[in-house]
């Protein structure tokens, strides 16, 4: 799913210059990559030679692999909703 507008993204590889058909935002960004993990070194679980500074902007990272949670369906969204529900349940009285 597009991290900006939430529309389902087409299955398959995301090219360097691909844009979301719904909102027109760039898709080859760290937030759509399976290796993106905020908090780890350079926010990436791959050993990249050059850090990508802007995680929400198009980049030419050769390690980019589309995250299955963001591409091809809402499976990731369902999991995040479930995690949020579990978290919220901790603070209910």
* DSSP-derived 3-state class of residue 69: coil
* Predicted confidence (pLDDT) per residue in 47-83, tens digit: 888 889 999 999 999 999 988 876 654 444 444 556 6
Q: Domain map of the chain by residue range? A: 1-93
pLDDT of residue 76: 43
The number of beta carbons lying within 10 Å of the beta carbon of residue 19 is: 14
| CB-based burial, 32-62: b 16+ in 10 Å, e otherwise | bbbbbeeeeeebbebebeeebeeeeebbebe
Q: Which residue has the higher pLDDT, 80 or 41?
A: 41
Q: What pLDDT is recorded for position 72?
A: 56
25/69: higher pLDDT: 25
């Amino acid at each position: 799913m597009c991290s900006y507008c939430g529309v389902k993204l087409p299955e398959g590889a995301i090219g360097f210059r691909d844009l979301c058909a719904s909102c027109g935002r760039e898709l080859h960004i760290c937030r759509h990559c399976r290796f993106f993990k905020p908090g780890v070194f350079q926010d990436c679980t791959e050993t990249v030679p050059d850090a990508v500074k802007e995680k929400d902007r198009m980049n030419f990272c050769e390690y980019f692999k589309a995250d299955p949670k963001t591409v091809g369906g809402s499976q990731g969204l369902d999991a995040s909703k479930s995690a949020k529900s579990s978290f919220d349940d901790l603070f209910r009285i």
